[in-house]
A and B are shown apart, each in its own frame.
Chain A
Amino acid sequence: MCLAIPARIVELEGDKAVVDAMGNRWKARTTLLPEAKLGDMVLIHAGFAISLVDEEEAKETWQLLAQIANFEDTQNKISG
């Protein structure tokens, strides 16, 4: 559960942001990363940006996340 998801800040007002990962958008906070700016790629964990991250790294993580989502889906299907 410690996995953070890379996403781009597409809206930012104070420490309240909207972030985008491959077209999925959700609200997040930048309270823990005050240096984050509009347009930055950040790692989001449990609704908070925790670190800046570069584009290449973000893309690699998205690929891995797709695999893990697949893994967890399988788990849920087994249990369901």
Chain B
Amino acid sequence: MLERIHNAQQLMNEVCKTLGRQINVMEVCGTHTVSIFRNGIRSILPGKLKLLSGPGCPVCVTDQGYIDVVLQLADRDDILIATYGDMIRVPGKGGSLETKLPSANVKVVLSSEDALQLAKDNPEKKVVFVAVGFETTAPATAVVVKEAAAGSLENFCILSGHKLVVPAMRALVSEKNHNIDGFLCPGHVSAITGYRSYAEIVEGFGRPCVVAGFEPLQIIDGLAEICRQLAAGKAELKSVYTAVVTEQGNTTAQKIIAECFEPADGYWRGLGNIEKSTLKLKDKYSQFDALERFDITETPSEDTSGCRCGEVLCGLIEPPECGLFGKSCTSELPIGPCMVSSEGACAAWFKYGPEKKRER
């Protein structure tokens, strides 16, 4: 194992020396971010290889406007909110679900099926499932929407906050001033989408896309592979997470997403509106869409003043460069979404940083 790390390190050092400039690699997965910090991976990288923590945490990129709709619904006596625990602390303009928790109408669920069961068990209530997550999570929502439709379960609906990873990556590399040389792609999103899903980033934008698992060696292998491609002046699709991720991905899950949802434009916290980057229920399932059922419009919100999570998510700044970081925004009292989520870049920096700045 040590030899493998040493070889990867040597390769990365040589590439940085040869290219003679800073190399920026963005990890697009919150679990990668945590693993990188937890395992001190940054400390073994060459000074010129910089890791940027991208929009890889679905909690962090959920727009305040979405949270505000959830809070609005949670105030109604006839509604039960079913949510994954991850969303509980995320602040909208009017507070977070945590503030509503003592009330009986917010329930934390571990799966979409639990949310469906809640609707079956409470026929007098309308159950709204807070459906967030990337491609990994979306198929689980699609399954229960289909089942609710098949069983004519009229007191169940979802508020779709599902998002797609590749359109966000495309938006980032479409920006003129972006500084991303390559992407370390998420393991379990790719288990669903397959690594072919990054073809447009590799072919259209000439950026290496390498899928890695979450163990430190996987991440180091993935980074070394990106460096190897950059040194060769190439951009390729690759998975070093071969135990799980295939080129095609999980086609059953892809089909069920496509059956229930269609891509729609939508807001990402800090990144703004991104074309065809969210999943909206198709017309035939519109009766299960909470926005349609309760005739609500989601209004995108401005970020809290001073909060620079948007720039953090784009890889433009590191968390300590934000004036709020570690001062008014901490793990105890988080302001921005990247501090709220344990998979957010700010939370990882706050827990494991400040890093010693090495000579660059």
How many angstroms from the CA of A4 to the CA of B239 in the assembled complex? 17
Closest chain B residue to A46 by CB distance? B140
Instruction: Kindly list chain A residues whose C-beta atoms are within 8 Å of the C-beta of B351.
Output: 71, 74-75
Contact check, B192 vs A50: say whether CB atoms are below 8 A apart.
yes
Give the complex CA separation of A32 and B112 in angstroms.
Answer: 13
Residue numbers in B under 8 Å from A74 (CB-CB): 351
Residue A64 interfacial (CB < 8 Å):
yes
Judged by a CB distance under 8 angstroms, whether B281 is at the interface is no
Considering the chains assembled together, what is the distance between the CA atoms of A32 and B245 in angstroms? 15
Interface of chain A residues 1 through 18 with chain B (CB within 8 A) = 1-4
Q: Chain A interface mostly helix, strand, loop or mixed?
A: mixed
CA distance A57 to B140 in the complex (A): 23
Min C-beta distance of B130 to chain A, whole Å: 12
Q: For chain B residues 97-128, which have a beta carbon within 8 Å of chain A?
A: 110-114
Give 1 or 0 for each of A51-80: 1 = CB within 8 Å of chain B CB.
101101100110110011001101100110
Report whether A46 and B35 are in contact in the complex, using a CB–CB cutoff of 8 Å.
no
Residue pair B250, A33 in contact (C-beta under 8 Å): yes
Contact string against B for A residues 25-50, beta-carbon threshold 8 Å, 1 for contact and 0 otherwise: 00001011110000000010111101
The answer on a CB contact under 8 Å between B243 and A54 is: yes
A43 CB → nearest B CB, Å = 7
Let me know if B31 and A32 touch, CB within 8 A.
Answer: no
Residues of A within 8 A of B252 (CB): 31-34
Contacts of B215 in A (CB 8 A): 60-61, 63-64
| Residues A1 and B111 in contact in the complex (CB < 8 Å), given A32-B250, A46-B137, A71-B38 | no
B140 touches A47 (CB 8 A): yes
Partner-contacting stretch, out of B45-53, B151-159, B183-191: B183-191
The proximity string for B residues 189-224 relative to A, scoring 1 for CB distances below 8 Å and 0 otherwise, is 101100000000000000000000111000000000
- Chain A residue numbers with a CB within 8 Å of B342 are 71-72, 75
- Contact B139 A32, beta carbon cutoff 8 Å: yes
Q: Indicate the size class of the contact surface on chain B.
A: 35 or more
The complex places the Cα of A75 from the Cα of B37 at a distance, in Å, of 14
Known contacts A1-B59, A46-B137: A57-B110 contact under CB 8 Å: no
Cβ–Cβ contact A2 & B213, under 8 A = no
The smallest beta-carbon distance between B38 and chain A, in angstroms, is 6
List the B side residues contacting A75 at CB < 8 Å.
Answer: 331, 342, 347, 351
Q: Find out whether the CB atom of A50 lies under 8 angstroms from the CB atom of B139.
A: yes
* Contact flag A79-B188 (CB < 8 Å), given A46-B133, A47-B113: no
In this assembly, does B316 line the interface, its C-beta being within 8 Å of a C-beta of chain A? no
Q: Is the CB of B140 within 8 A of A45?
A: yes
Q: Closest residue to A48 on the B side, CB-wise?
A: B140
Residue of A nearest to B352 (CB): A71
**Residues of B contacting A79 in the complex (Cβ-Cβ under 8 angstroms):** 89, 331-332
- B23 within 8 A of partner (CB): no
Question: Inside 8 A of B149's CB, which chain A residues have their CB?
Answer: none
B186 pairs with A2, CB closer than 8 A: yes
Contact partners of B112 in chain A: CB under 8 A:
46-47
Residues in chain A near residue B57, CB distance under 8 A:
1
B148 within 8 A of A: no
A1-B84, A33-B250 as given contacts; A45 in contact with B188, CB under 8 Å: yes
**How far, in Å, is B145 (CB) from chain A's closest CB?**
12
Q: A31 — nearest CB in chain B belongs to which residue?
A: B143
Residues of A within 8 Å of B256, CB to CB, are 31-32
Q: Are A47 and B110 in contact (CB under 8 A)?
A: yes
Residues from chain A with a CB closer than 8 A to the CB of B111 are: 46-48
| Cβ–Cβ contact A3 & B31, under 8 A | yes
Decide yes or no: A53 and B244 within 8 Å by CB, A1-B133, A2-B137, A3-B188 being known contacts: yes
- Could you write out 23 A-B pairs with CB less than 8 Å apart? A1-B58, A1-B132, A1-B137, A2-B137, A2-B188, A3-B214, A29-B143, A31-B256, A32-B256, A33-B250, A43-B188, A45-B137, A46-B133, A46-B137, A47-B114, A50-B188, A50-B192, A51-B245, A60-B213, A61-B214, A68-B34, A72-B342, A75-B342
